[in-house]
Amino acid sequence: MMEKKHLFDDPANVKRLLRAIYVICAVLVGLDLLFLRHGMHEWESMIGFYAIYGFVGCSALVLVAREMRKFLMRDEEYYDDD
């Protein structure tokens, strides 16, 4: 029996979702050019500050966590064999 095809079974739909994210990101940075943010922190008025901070922050988070695995990761049963 053929299973019903689901939304993301079609790679084209995944592509569409990704493209939507790219477009939204571009628009959001574009909006920064229109709105002059006058925040309380000097960095806030930098164009694209939140975008850069979000991207760099998240990438750094994952890449550091990935390195942490090298010395923190143990077998799943690590605490069980006592």
Interface ranges with another protein (CB under 8 A):
6-8, 18, 21-22, 24-25, 28-29, 31-32, 35, 37-41, 44, 48, 50-59, 61-66, 68-69, 71-76, 78-80, 82
**In the structure encoding, which two tokens stand for residue 69, read together?**
């695995």
* Residue 73 beta carbon to another protein: minimum distance, rounded to whole angstroms: 5
* Residue 18 beta carbon to another protein: minimum distance, rounded to whole angstroms: 6
List all residues 6 or more positions away from 43 whose beta carbon is below 8 Å from its beta carbon: 49
* Residue 33 beta carbon to another protein: minimum distance, rounded to whole angstroms: 11
